[in-house]
Amino acid sequence: MALAWAAACWACEDPNAPERPGVDAAGTDGAGTDAALPDAAMEPPGRLRWTLAWDLTGLEPVEGAPGFSVVTNLGYQVHLRDGTVTTWDASLLPCDGPKNHGPDTNETSADVAVVESLHAPLPALPWSVREGLVGDYCQGHLVVARADRNSLSDGRALVRDRISLHLELQVTSNSDATWVREVSLDAAFSYGAVLPLPVGLAPLSFTERSIDLRLTRFARTLFDDIDLTGSTDENLGRDVLRNLVLDSRLTVD
């Protein structure tokens, strides 16, 4: 999978930037039920298993309607009726490679774009297996971008060609005024950032072991720090992508 980083990433974040509120930097909030995967300790060295996960704490079901409801840190109540996002790729960055910048792809890349449901996210989804890895890796990297004809569905999401993010939501403000928003970001919009590895786990070495790596995203913070009534559709979508990526956490199962 070829992804031109300079063209695709409209904002490359500094991984040393201050933590966004609402998510434990160590990723200790949990990611739902575990995927049924073999124990990496029982496998030959050099294998990497990627699992996509969602932390679903803080979400409330909506009676008689699809999706979930959540209150943002600015006090908006959001009912997400429908939504999809395309998780384009994730990878590990070698310790001796460029710092704080993502590659087009490397041997650790999941290399499978998945369109995921946002209104009914799966707690855990086995994603990709890479083999024959050697060397040490000190950072992770995540890109969300547009779907294409090769993108897979998580089984719940509709694959919309060339769409990176789709949202249908109802927003209620503190004054009880209500807005209905529908947002779709096309191929021109993507977001990528370097993700730190948990404290004490870097570097990750495949020389003597295999590793199960979990990428957890936090549904409850998708709409935080966003003016959901005054923001344009484009800016709202961009900010959701930013929150999704920057709040993501890597952990070793």
pLDDT digits (tens, 9 = 90+) for 81-90: 999 999 999 9
- 106 φ, ψ (degrees, to nearest 5): -150, -175
Closest CA to 194 of 12, 46, 6, 21: 12
Residue 143 lies in a domain: yes
Which amino acid makes up residue 45? Answer: P
pTM of the model: 0.83
- 221 φ, ψ (degrees, to nearest 5): -105, 5
Domain limits at 88? 44-60+83-165+185-252
Residue 242 lies in a domain: yes
Residue 172 lies in a domain: no
Parallel, antiparallel, or unpaired for β 77-94 and 68-71?
antiparallel
Q: Report the domain count for the chain.
A: 1
Residue 197 lies in a domain: yes
Tens-digit pLDDT profile for residues 188-228: 999 999 999 988 888 999 988 999 999 999 999 999 999 99
Residue partners of 42: CB distance under 8 A and separation at least 6:
none
Of the two residues 37 and 77, the one the predictor is more confident about is 77
Sign, CA dihedral 227-82-240-61, equals positive
Residue 111 lies in a domain: yes
